């Protein structure tokens, strides 16, 4: 890709070489023509891939056979071909470099991103046979050579004594790399290698350490270098919305089209919030019931979630009004100040856009709650002590709480939420990768009876609501689904309607 002002270059590297394998140092940006939609799709696919790597890295011991097998099968299932792999790194670099104004957010993400990329790289590298590894190193200007059998025989005793876990048989069977001492400082520091005349002799299984260090350094530099493109990116009206969207996007279903509009009655919400709402929505619901009010961040997050699980416009208006008039807002003020924004959320006002419920990524990364707010992700935004108390109130076992807090400490917020799901649903393995609060809800309902809960409860006294809901359903389905490129823009527009005076 090209940024403004640069001369167009033609790639001299054949595509087969650029996209011939998964293992890359990503030193050469793609210089072919790539459409913006491909650019965006590849980036979203890569985020999905990295999320899978993260999930497995937490649920399995890295480098063990079960970890490798599971990662291999999941990568196969994701089916991420070579070309998107090679291309997708570049929008992702821009994405991480550009979007997060807060230094701590950027630092969190930078570390997360590099860690997942390094784990993925390690997997691909260790999948190669030694000959392919050597070829890869040479291709990337890491001119390390393996020593000959004669040299191995001459240094056999020193190699056995200096290298970890190497026996006489292994010395003769496996390759040893001769690497400049300064490139192997980590292994030297750990006294894991034999040193002679400025060279470290590295057993085959340890060469990956050096390559990974190199990869990590290159990636960090690439992120730093990306900063140079920022002025061009910020002024490029095509790229900016795309990158913005990526930060809020979540990979998978966006829950913008509700299939069960009107299938949930207002009476069910209290019970559903305890059984099937993720913690973020459970806490919003609870504080709405307690305070009869939510500030705009909470109304946005919770309102769109409720819409996503199937509340019709009429139900939403009734739900919010009933609660608000129990507090300091009278019916007249509600109709004037709040009803419009709810209709707007359902695409009945303004640009008539059908808004999409927030993904976990959006909740976690944008608009952190401040004093008096109840929105956000409790796993990301709550103080650990407060989170612990909340979990205790929700009857999570002490060992479960510890597991959750460990995941939170490692910044695995969605995995912590998934653990909460498993503990509260009494299952060992939730077997889905959590990306969205509405996905949490659907998975929970599936588990608790394939959504029969909703239908069964609905059958009883809710006929009148069902009827009015079905009217809302028709209206809602008329609204066309959004194109992803407009999403961020539209959400910002909606947010402005929710701002309190």
Determine if 297 is a binding residue for ligand SF4 (CB under 6 A): no
Nearer to ligand SF4, 391 or 417 (CB): 417
- The three-state DSSP-derived secondary structure of 413-471 is HHHHHHHHHHHHHCCCCCCCCCCCHHHHHHHHHHHCCCCHHHHHHHHCCCHHHHHHHHH
Find the angle CA(243)-CA(249)-CA(251) to the nearest 5 degrees: 120
Determine if 309 is a binding residue for ligand SF4 (CB under 6 A): no
**Which one, of 317, 281, 301, lies nearest residue 469 by Cα?**
317
How far apart CA 439 and CA 308 sit, in angstroms, is 10
CB of 407 to ligand SF4, least distance (A): 11
Q: How many residues bind ligand SF4 (CB under 6 A)?
A: 14
Which residues 356-385 are close enough to bind ligand SF4 by CB under 6 A?
A: 360, 363-364, 377-379
Ordered DSSP codes for 155-202: THHHHHHHSTT--HHHHHHS-EEEEEGGGGHHHHHTT-SEEETTEEEE
Contact 491, 348 (CB under 8 A): no
280 labeled binding residue? yes
Nearer to ligand SF4, 176 or 413 (CB): 413
- Per-residue interface string for the shown chain with ligand SF4, residues 122-161, x marking contact by CB under 6 A: ----------------------------------------
Nearer to ligand SF4, 184 or 365 (CB): 365
Determine if 437 is a binding residue for ligand SF4 (CB under 6 A): yes
How far apart CA 326 and CA 293 sit, in angstroms, is 9
Determine if 308 is a binding residue for ligand SF4 (CB under 6 A): no
Between helix 413-425 and helix 36-59 the angle, nearest 10°, is 60
Determine if 298 is a binding residue for ligand SF4 (CB under 6 A): no
Q: Is 56 exposed, middle or buried (0-12, 13-18, 19+ CB in 10 A)?
A: buried
How far apart CA 130 and CA 263 sit, in angstroms, is 59
A 10 A CB-CB count for 242 gives: 23
Determine if 71 is a binding residue for ligand SF4 (CB under 6 A): no
How far apart CA 384 and CA 390 sit, in angstroms, is 10
Contact 340, 497 (CB under 8 A): yes
Which residues 96-125 are close enough to bind ligand SF4 by CB under 6 A?
A: none
Adjacency order of strands within the sheet including 194-196: 145-146, 176-180, 199-203, 194-196
How far apart CA 3 and CA 146 sit, in angstroms, is 41
CB of 18 to ligand SF4, least distance (A): 36
**Which one, of 166, 143, 144, lies nearest residue 155 by Cα?**
166
Q: Is 221 exposed, middle or buried (0-12, 13-18, 19+ CB in 10 A)?
A: exposed
Determine if 440 is a binding residue for ligand SF4 (CB under 6 A): yes
Determine if 414 is a binding residue for ligand SF4 (CB under 6 A): yes
CB of 50 to ligand SF4, least distance (A): 16
How far apart CA 148 and CA 360 sit, in angstroms, is 54
Determine if 90 is a binding residue for ligand SF4 (CB under 6 A): no
Nearer to ligand SF4, 424 or 482 (CB): 424
Q: Figure out which of the listed residues 187, 345, 417, 494 binds ligand SF4, where binding follows CB under 6 A.
A: 417
CB of 8 to ligand SF4, least distance (A): 42
Tokens standing for 406? 């460990």
Nearer to ligand SF4, 229 or 283 (CB): 283
Which residues 332-361 are close enough to bind ligand SF4 by CB under 6 A?
A: 360
Nearer to ligand SF4, 53 or 377 (CB): 377
Determine if 415 is a binding residue for ligand SF4 (CB under 6 A): no
- Judged by CB under 6 A, the stretch of 158-166, 214-222, 247-255, 413-421 that binds ligand SF4 is 413-421
How far apart CA 357 and CA 363 sit, in angstroms, is 10
Nearer to ligand SF4, 43 or 363 (CB): 363
CB of 184 to ligand SF4, least distance (A): 40
CA–CA distances in Å: residue 482 to residues 430, 432, 489: 30, 25, 11
Nearer to ligand SF4, 258 or 465 (CB): 258
CB of 438 to ligand SF4, least distance (A): 9
Contact 56, 74 (CB under 8 A): yes
CB of 419 to ligand SF4, least distance (A): 10
Q: Figure out which of the listed residues 413, 419, 443, 465 binds ligand SF4, where binding follows CB under 6 A.
A: 413
Which residues 268-287 are close enough to bind ligand SF4 by CB under 6 A?
A: 278-280
Nearer to ligand SF4, 93 or 377 (CB): 377
Nearer to ligand SF4, 104 or 141 (CB): 104
Nearer to ligand SF4, 57 or 376 (CB): 376
How far apart CA 117 and CA 96 sit, in angstroms, is 13
Annotated binding site for [4Fe-4S] cluster: 280, 360, 377, 417
Pick out the residues of the known binding site. 280, 360, 377, 417
Q: What does the binding site for ligand SF4 look like in residue numbers (CB under 6 A)? A: 278-280, 360, 363-364, 377-379, 413-414, 417, 437, 440
């Amino acid at each position: 890709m090209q940024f403004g002002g640069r001369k167009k270059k033609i790639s001299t590297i054949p595509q087969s070489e650029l996209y011939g394998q998964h293992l890359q140092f990503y030193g050469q940006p793609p210089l072919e023509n790539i459409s913006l939609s491909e650019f965006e799709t590849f980036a979203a696919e890569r985020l999905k891939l990295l999320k899978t790597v993260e999930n497995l890295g937490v649920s399995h011991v890295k480098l063990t056979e079960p970890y490798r097998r599971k990662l291999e099968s999941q990568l196969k299932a994701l089916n991420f071909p070579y070309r998107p792999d090679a291309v997708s790194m570049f929008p992702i670099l821009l994405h991480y470099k550009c979007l997060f104004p807060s230094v701590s957010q950027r630092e969190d993400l930078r570390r997360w991103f590099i860690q997942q990329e390094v784990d993925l790289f390690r997997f691909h590298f260790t999948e190669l046979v030694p000959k392919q590894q050597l070829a890869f190193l040479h291709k990337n200007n890491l001119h390390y050579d393996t020593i000959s059998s004669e040299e191995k025989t001459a240094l056999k005793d020193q190699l056995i004594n200096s290298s970890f876990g190497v026996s006489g048989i292994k010395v003769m069977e496996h390759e040893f790399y001769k690497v400049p001492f300064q490139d192997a400082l980590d292994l030297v520091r750990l006294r894991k290698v034999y040193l002679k005349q400025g060279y470290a002799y590295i057993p085959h299984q340890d060469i990956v350490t050096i390559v990974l260090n190199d990869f990590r350094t290159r990636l960090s530099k690439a992120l730093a270098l990306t900063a140079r493109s920022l002025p061009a990116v910020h002024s490029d009206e095509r790229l900016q919305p795309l990158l913005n969207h990526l930060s809020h996007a979540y990979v998978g279903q966006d829950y913008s089209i509700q299939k069960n509009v009107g299938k949930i009655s207002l009476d069910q919400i209290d019970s559903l919030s305890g059984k099937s709402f993720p913690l973020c929505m459970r806490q919003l619901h609870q504080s709405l019931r307690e305070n009869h009010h939510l500030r705009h961040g909470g109304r946005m997050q919770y309102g769109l979630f409720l819409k996503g699980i199937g509340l019709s416009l009429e139900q939403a208006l009734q739900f919010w009004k009933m609660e608000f008039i129990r507090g300091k807002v009278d019916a007249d003020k509600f109709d004037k100040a709040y009803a419009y924004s709810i209709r707007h959320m359902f695409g009945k006002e303004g640009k008539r856009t059908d808004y999409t419920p927030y993904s976990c990524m959006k909740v976690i990364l944008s608009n952190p709650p401040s004093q008096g707010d109840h929105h956000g992700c409790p796993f990301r935004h709550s103080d650990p002590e407060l989170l612990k108390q909340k979990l205790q109130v929700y009857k999570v076992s002490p060992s479960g709480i510890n597991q959750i807090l460990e995941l939170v400490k490692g910044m695995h917020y969605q995995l912590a939420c998934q653990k909460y799901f498993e503990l509260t649903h009494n299952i060992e393995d939730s077997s889905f990768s959590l990306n969205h609060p509405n996905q949490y809800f659907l998975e929970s309902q599936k588990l608790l009876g394939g959504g029969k809960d909703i239908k069964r409860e609905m059958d009883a006294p809710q006929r009148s609501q069902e009827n009015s809901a079905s009217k809302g359903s028709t209206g809602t389905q008329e609204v066309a689904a959004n194109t992803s490129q407009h999403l961020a823009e539209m959400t910002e527009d909606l947010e402005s309607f929710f701002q309190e005076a």
